[in-house]
Chains A and B, each alone.
Chain A
């Protein structure tokens, strides 16, 4: 007898939760960050895909909380706690610098800022980052398996590896 596994897809500026044996993934991360919070014992995990570091920089009245590191990470924690998750740990990937930044451009070093913002948000919530694969200049597809607590990462023209 086999158990059917579902892969839950998380889009840009989105956050979702999964229970084992299902897995959760997000595709084509560039300067964005995928952050996984997981409760190893209970087999619950959540994944957030943020685009920008700081919601206070938003120039519009209504903000979408899942778009920003500083609002999405606490929101993700809350969602997981509501599902009974406790003692959470984190893994994260993304924050690449996709373009060589030339002079006079506002394609800012957003990857680095995103990495810092996610790390900050996790620190404030006392969540330990167990492992991460951040920076560089390649896009990433990531998938987390709550059974093994492994985050698998695929980059263009490279073999899949896990952290």
Chain B
């Protein structure tokens, strides 16, 4: 079982390139959306068990806003965009032009609904950019599902993204790319794109890119 998850350094490089291309395009979209420069860090390719996946986003009790998409098409898997509560607040503030917005237990009906729909829309745009870039790079058709948004402990949210692959394996290969907006002021964004392809997608990916 484990030997499925031995990646050569060539294969690892391909997966890193996928993170670079996908998250790079998504970062560009986000920067256009917000009117700020967004930096992207070098992607990490991790082979992780389920507990380790959750550690990647701060541990099981870390409050997060998670946007999850199923990836459909010639490659299947899950795309997760993970940000902290404060960062989600900042994104909603920017998008709704409401600098007072706070995401807390008191955030009520209509305000919460607007926030959720703003975040879902950002998720749609970013995942769309990521997958479009990936489609162009691989020549494969890739489509995101509708967004699934959760605001809760990281363990509770992230396991949803692992359900599909957990029926086949106890490990996930994750392409984790962090984006940041560093500013002089206190405003800052940090987010992670986690692309978790289904195990059977890797062979297709490597074959298509001619490095299998």
- Chain A interface residues (CB < 8 Å from chain B): 11-14, 27-32, 51-52, 57-62, 64, 67, 96, 98-100, 102-108, 110, 138-141, 156-157
Contacts and interface: CB of A to CB of B under 8 A. Distances in A.
A51 B50 contact: yes
B150 A98 contact: yes
A34 B46 CA distance: 27
B207 interface: no
B153 interface: yes
Given A51-B166, A52-B163, A28 B154 contact: yes
The secondary structure that dominates the B interface is mixed
Interface residues of B, number: 34
17 contacts: A12-B51, A27-B60, A28-B54, A30-B160, A31-B156, A32-B159, A58-B167, A61-B1, A98-B157, A98-B160, A99-B150, A100-B148, A104-B146, A105-B70, A110-B163, A138-B152, A156-B151
A1 to B, nearest CB: 32
A29 to B, nearest CB: 6
A35 B155 CA distance: 17
A107 B68 contact: yes
Given A102-B145, A105-B70, 9 more contacts: A27-B59, A28-B60, A31-B160, A31-B163, A58-B168, A139-B156, A156-B63, A156-B151, A157-B104
Contact of A29 (B70, B151, B156, B163): B156
